[in-house]
Structure 1
């Protein structure tokens, strides 16, 4: 498994393939505690040593399950990231019979409500509460989570709070995680972030991160973690009705994915393997984050990561007009 240290100023290591823990927080459908533990164990057995979670995922369930699975491991043997920006406030009188949280995407009882808070005190409180849920002594990376509509507060209060936590040694590296590139590029230009997490914007079907974000990261010696490499399903299983960014894929994108699939199959490679490998071809990308809810999904991702992909495959994708020379779609 490939290992990289984030940026040029941190000592935080990550593996090229990382485990996204939203699934074990009951994303969309319930996952039993045994299945969740088996998924984390399978990731460990596959050599994955970077695990990502957030309070948002299952109203803290993801953090609790991930912490329980990792606590018995040597603490210096893995890297853990979580996020700040949403505090979890108990709903008075709530219990297990309360309505579910599926409106936010998670099959858990709605015992808490999410409160946006990118204030300095809110960030520090979020980190302290995450440490309690995780049951660990430290967090290696903290990302500001989806600050899209909170830019001023994020830059003037939340980010300086992260800098103080890093200086105190409470966290090892800091950054922001979003589904867009513009504000992440601003973080790279205006702050001393170590890493940014970019979801869905550097894939075989969307290379918008190539315009500014990735060149900026490379020029400044910062790292990028890439999530959403399957664009929520289309690049994992291209077929009519497949989803792209959580909606039914438009016909033009479905056609492009099917054409890519035909090319990769000529080389005996599933499209999802090419989707996973593609971001790692850029020097600024430190890790590809793949969400998993079962041991089988983890093992599949690890097997895809181990597949050798010939240079001719990428050359043919370019020749077919599916990728241009710099990787962008034609």
Structure 2
């Protein structure tokens, strides 16, 4: 069964990184209200990870989903990082992710892509989420320092450990599928070239968006289609800059990105189009895309996302983006369907 066939209620999911106190300290009641709003709006696909706030997002999501029937929603989480009981005294700092979750729990987080680490990670996630099973499992962030020795060791550990375990769990029917959960294209390309494993899909964050899609378009999406591996698009708002925020790639947006966003906004305003609508609908226009999972930490943002996905966008808007080179000439657009 493909990811698209598994989804209960359409391609719009909910990425729960913000529930791990990404960028700010979110009160528990606000986090719960956001998940509640997602459910009431019809969201039935939830993606999370141990890394998000050192288990905080999983705990918060699980608390809300405990009110639901398990068969009524699709749930994915990630492996590759283990949350320890050990509590650190200094600030949480995560390499290329910086202090992204400095307001999360203070539990120590370590990398572990081994077979035993994968099983341990899944057990921890099930406990924090309070569920008896997962639908999809992504191997998380196997992309840091991509060309360095440390990355090569991580990928080799995942190839011989996590990938083999997840293949077996999928074949046994314990999970519906697995893949990578990364924000770089290259690891997915390499995984798709491996003959000994059979991924079901991949969560690709921030690499197939209005602002950044050329590389994935040319190198990954055709290969994914050829292999029958569907893409879950994470980070469709590019860390927030496409949704009224100031972040791009988890940091302050550079001037050239701000300038590009302003150009898209001006075009969108002339056609009465929400930039959120353009961002979501662009991600899903590619036939390799199965779902899109924007994050949110406020209930009102959920309604905006659902309205944005369903809004009508004039074909001339997309044509103008192409003409102005704001999207690639080769990128499939909603008008091409």
Q: Normalising by the residue count of structure 1, what TM-score does the alignment of the two structures yield?
A: 0.89
- Paired position in structure 2 for 1:200: 206
Distance in 2 of aligned mates of 1:325 and 1:227: 22
Which aligned pairs between 1:108-257 and structure 2 lie closer than 5 A? 108-110=104-106, 112-148=107-143, 149=151, 150-190=154-194, 191-207=197-213, 208-237=215-244, 242-257=246-261
Name the SS for the 2:294 alignment partner.
Answer: strand
Aligned-partner Cα distance in 1 for 2:255–2:57: 35
Q: Give 1:108 deviation, angstroms.
A: 2.8
C-alpha contact 2:141 2:183 (8 A) present in aligned 1: yes
2:109 is paired with a residue whose SS is strand
Of 42, 45, 53 in structure 1, the residue corresponding to residue 40 of structure 2 is 45
User: When the two structures are aligned, how many residues end up with a matched partner?
Assistant: 314
Return the alpha-carbon distance in structure 2 between the equivalents of residues 33 and 249 of structure 1. 29
- Indicate if the aligned counterparts of 1:142 and 1:175 stay in contact, CA closer than 8 A: yes
2:56/2:105 contact within 8 Å kept? no
- Tell me if structure 1 keeps the 8 A contact 2:22–2:100: no
TM-superposed deviation, 1:223: 0.6
SS state at 1:273 partner: helix
Whether the aligned pair in 2 keeps the contact of 1:175 and 1:193 (CA below 8 Å) is yes
After superposing on structure 2, the runs of 4+ consecutive aligned residues of structure 1 that deviate more than 6 Å are none
**Residues 174, 232 of structure 1: alpha-carbon distance in 2 compared, 3 angstrom cutoff:** same
Q: Structure 2: how far apart are the matches of 1:249 and 1:100?
A: 23
In the TM superposition, what whole-angstrom CA distance separates every residue of 1:58-86 from its partner, at most 9, and x where no partner exists?
A: 11111111111112212111000000000
2:142–2:182 CA contact under 8 A, matched in 1: yes
Across the aligned residues of Structure 1 and Structure 2, the Cα RMSD in angstroms comes to 1.9
Which residue among 67, 78, 81 is the counterpart of 1:83? 78
Q: Tell whether 2:307 aligns with 1:311.
A: no
Q: Is 1:72 aligned with 2:79?
A: no
Q: In 1, distance between residues paired with 2:298 and 2:244?
A: 18
**Among 82, 92, 96, which residue is 1:101 paired with?**
92
1:226–1:285 contact (8 Å) kept in structure 2: yes
**Cα drift, residue 100 of structure 1:** 5.1
- 1:152-198 deviations in Å (ceiling 9; x for gaps): 11112110011122223221111111010011122223231111011
Residues 186 and 154 of structure 1, relative CA distance in 2, 3 Å threshold: same
Deviation at 1:211, TM superposition (A): 1.3
Deviation by residue 1:213-239 (Cα, 9 ceiling, x = unmatched): 11111112111011111211222238x
Between structures 1 and 2, the one with greater strand share: 1
Q: Is the 8 A contact 1:99 1:109 kept in 2?
A: no
Pair 1:278 & 2:282 matched: yes
